[in-house]
Structure 1
Amino acid sequence: MFLMIFVNDFWTLEDVPVWLLHTAAEADAMGFSDVIFPMFLFIVGLSLPFAINNRMTKGDSNRVVLQHIVERTFALLLMGIFLVNFENMRSEVMMIPKYVWEILLIAAFFLIWNVYPNKPERKRLYTALKVSGYVVLIVLAAVYQGGTKEDPRWMETHWWGILGLIGWSYLICSVVYLYFRQRLLLVIFSWFVLVLFNLADFAGWLTPLDAIRNTFWIVGSGAMPAFTMAGVVASMLYQRHFRKDNATIFIAILILLGVLSLLFGFGTRPFWGSSKIRATPAWLGICTGVSFIVYAFFFWLVEMADRKNWANALKPAGEATLTCYLIPYIWYALVTIAGVSLPLFLRTGMIGLVKSLLFSLFIILLTGLINRLGVKLKI
């Protein structure tokens, strides 16, 4: 989350080194920014076995857990669709100014999915707040206009947005783990199927399915859930096979999986290039390999070397990830409406990068503060 907020702030800067930026769709290249989201999806996969197993130990049945998975997916998809349409709106013809629309949107998310105190005497109030959030969403959708002057359009799924991609990946991988959680080999097989689906699409083997591509498809041609499923595999390996006396073997397995993924990525790069926008097999393999190896490093650092205090300042980003992700939307809207902008020299080159790093830390600390005030999203 710290790095995601950091790279998402680059749009406010000038003269950012090219190697830090997202690369164009047609380019055979990867920037630092192109690796961050895959690693986030990998971390989603790392958390899934713990989250689902925790619900099981509390007595939840498969049906109850599945219902929760569907509800969480719906929330992520809904938020993703609204946010991606914000990027495609025709603000000049709308009744509500663009950035006011944005602030109201994020406020509605907080009203609906805030963790309200467990106070029965205020249950009606909290229900009314949630309902009001949905009413705001309906109004925002009703006044929305997108497309072009020649081809006006209402809200569309587009590419689902970041939260939507997380939602689809979460749904697929959660359901797979829910029903295969006792069978590591089947989970690994599911991961391979997603990777092969991505490879098959670029190899042209899935052209007979073109008729359904626009209505029924796996996001990223399997790449997005493949990142998450790789995290699920790593988490299952940890839960089943890690012990203090075999830590070196466990870390070696992670590094081996990382190296194999890198070989797959670089091996397929000559055919279709490496591109995040196109979600090529090379991008999938390289970012998966980086994720395994980075996870192995942090596992050694935190679990084996017992060095974890360095992350205390970043804890709110892990405890309230969705809250942390959404706060910048409000921040950018408010400063734009107010017409506030830092001097150019504070937004240029190395000084600008330091500014974005400090901004990311500020957002995380702000998340911790509002959490203590009782504002925290949970879906």
Structure 2
Amino acid sequence: MEQKPARLRSLDALRGFDMLWIIGLDSVFHALAKATDNSFFHLMSEQLHHVPWEGLRLYDLIFPLFMFPSGVSIPFALTSRMNRGWSRRQILLFIARRAFILVFLGMVYNGLLDLRFDTLRVASVIGQIGLAYGIAATVWYLIQNVKLRAAVLAGILILVAVLQLMIPVPGFGVGVLTPEGIFNSWLDRTILPGRLHAGVYDPEGLLCIFSSAALTLAGTFAGQVLRAAPAPRVRTLYWFAGAGVVSILLGAACQALGYPPIKSAWTTTFNFYAGGISLLLLAFFHGVVDFPKRNWSFPLQVVGMNPLTIYLLTRIVAFEPVAEFFAGGVARLSGAFGPVVLAVALLIVEWLVLWFLYRKKVFLRI
């Protein structure tokens, strides 16, 4: 039987880096921008807001940077189960079960337990992660031929572009890339039950789920390369960096032709940009985390090994009063930098909770 590979530190560190922005690191930079006249902090604060529709900022990459590593982990997780003798039926049920539970948890996050079904938002961030994972994992498992798998990836990207650019939307026409007129909006309004997050469309709607599955599926190619390597190889860094640059150039070409990156509609152009930047970041983290013998990334790994836990806890638990209890005095004496102190304290409190769970070996894994 094949020996179980060691856990990839860089993947946990990359997830942890990503989650830090979600749980409060963005607030640190917003507070620093308000407290200072520093141009860098003001630029970062602007970049840490979503674009209203078309375009791309750093904050628009937070979500895809979580979905891409979920694809990277697929070859590790499923191959491990295959090596333990799991049957085809067991693996497909595992994939379906994981996707279903994430959709359910997403609805819980959106207020399912409030029992107001007329205003419940069915679509969710966690649900999109789950369904995109389900599509990508099923494709990876059922299609062993790498070229055919790549063809499926290309097919998803092309189909999304065709639907958004060439299929007429009732009342709007063909290729109308506005919040009201894009194909995503018509599909969500027609089929998706419950409340739509943006009224006329949902940024985690049906076509967004299908399109983002391409990004997750792209992650499986990187995951397979990493899993096949007996040890970190410099050549892998070159491959990831090169593929990342090519993907970004494809995104730039699509944008130049009039097909913009729209995160809320998850256009193919956005997929190219997000995939390319994710590959570059994976190459960077693989190089600086997996190559050195010393594990300097432990603080990031603590977050990255329990991302779903902290995401749900920030919705359920009020961490802010705890941070204010311990750091309120220092914040009061810090003048204009008081909000900075509280934002940093909040991050520390959240990290300590995750560290405690790590020490107790408590991980929310689905």
* Aligned match for 1:198, one of 141, 146, 160: 160
Structure 1 equivalent of residue 304 of structure 2: 318
SS in 1 for 2:352: helix
* Aligned match for 1:301, one of 270, 281, 288: 288
Deviation for aligned residue 1:200: 1.8
* Aligned match for 2:51, one of 24, 29, 51: 24
* Aligned match for 2:128, one of 165, 171, 179: 165
Shift in CA distance, 268/352, structure 1 to aligned 2, threshold 3 Å: farther
Structure 2 equivalent of residue 97 of structure 1: none
Q: Which residue identity is paired with 1:83?
A: Y
| Alpha-carbon separation, structure 2, partners of 1:221 and 1:296 | 26
* Aligned match for 1:176, one of 119, 135, 139: 139
| Alpha-carbon separation, structure 1, partners of 2:225 and 2:66 | 19
Structure 2 equivalent of residue 92 of structure 1: none
| Alpha-carbon separation, structure 1, partners of 2:94 and 2:342 | 39
Structure 2 equivalent of residue 360 of structure 1: 347
SS in 2 for 1:250: helix
Say if 2:18 and 2:66, in contact at 8 Å, map to a contact too. Answer: no
Shift in CA distance, 70/7, structure 1 to aligned 2, threshold 3 Å: closer
Q: Which has the higher contact order (CA 8 A, sep 6+)?
A: 1
| Alpha-carbon separation, structure 2, partners of 1:70 and 1:363 | 31
Deviation for aligned residue 1:212: 5.9
Shift in CA distance, 11/282, structure 1 to aligned 2, threshold 3 Å: same
SS in 2 for 1:376: coil
Farther off after superposition, 264-273 or 74-83: 264-273
Structure 2 equivalent of residue 44 of structure 1: 70
| Alpha-carbon separation, structure 1, partners of 2:318 and 2:365 | 23
Structure 2 equivalent of residue 155 of structure 1: 120
Matches within 5 A, 1:197-346: 197-205=159-167, 214-215=190-191, 218-220=206-208, 222-240=210-228, 242=229, 247-270=233-256, 271-304=258-291, 306-332=292-318, 335=321
Q: Percent identity?
A: 23
Say if 1:219 and 1:225, in contact at 8 Å, map to a contact too. Answer: no
Are 2:94 and 1:68 aligned?
yes
TM-score, normalised to structure 1, is 0.70
Structure 2 equivalent of residue 186 of structure 1: 148
Deviation for aligned residue 1:317: 2.1
Say if 2:102 and 2:129, in contact at 8 Å, map to a contact too. Answer: yes
Structure 2 equivalent of residue 3 of structure 1: 18
Structure 2 equivalent of residue 117 of structure 1: none
| Alpha-carbon separation, structure 2, partners of 1:348 and 1:179 | 57
Deviation for aligned residue 1:261: 0.7
Deviation for aligned residue 1:29: 2.8
Q: Which residue identity is paired with 2:148?
A: L
Q: Which residue identity is paired with 1:289?
A: G
Q: Which residue identity is paired with 2:124?
A: G
Shift in CA distance, 267/353, structure 1 to aligned 2, threshold 3 Å: farther
Say if 1:261 and 1:285, in contact at 8 Å, map to a contact too. Answer: yes
Say if 2:157 and 2:211, in contact at 8 Å, map to a contact too. Answer: yes
Q: Could you say which structure has the higher helix fraction?
A: 1
Unmatched runs of 5 consecutive residues or more in structure 2: 1-15, 35-40, 171-182, 193-204
Unmatched runs of 5 consecutive residues or more in structure 1: 87-136, 146-152
Aligned length: 309
Say if 1:258 and 1:291, in contact at 8 Å, map to a contact too. Answer: yes
Farther off after superposition, 262-271 or 60-69: 262-271
Shift in CA distance, 334/344, structure 1 to aligned 2, threshold 3 Å: closer
| Alpha-carbon separation, structure 1, partners of 2:262 and 2:223 | 27
Deviation for aligned residue 1:339: 11
Say if 2:55 and 2:261, in contact at 8 Å, map to a contact too. Answer: yes
SS in 2 for 1:309: coil
Deviation for aligned residue 1:262: 0.2
| Alpha-carbon separation, structure 1, partners of 2:156 and 2:334 | 44
Matches within 5 A, 1:112-127: none
Say if 2:19 and 2:303, in contact at 8 Å, map to a contact too. Answer: no
Q: Which residue identity is paired with 2:271?
A: L
Q: Which residue identity is paired with 2:135?
A: I
Say if 2:327 and 2:341, in contact at 8 Å, map to a contact too. Answer: no
Say if 1:323 and 1:377, in contact at 8 Å, map to a contact too. Answer: yes
Deviation for aligned residue 1:314: 2.5
SS in 1 for 2:296: helix
Shift in CA distance, 344/42, structure 1 to aligned 2, threshold 3 Å: farther
Matches within 5 A, 1:36-115: 36-84=62-110, 86=111
Are 2:364 and 1:377 aligned?
yes
| Alpha-carbon separation, structure 2, partners of 1:295 and 1:226 | 17
| Alpha-carbon separation, structure 2, partners of 1:347 and 1:174 | 51
Deviation for aligned residue 1:31: 2.1
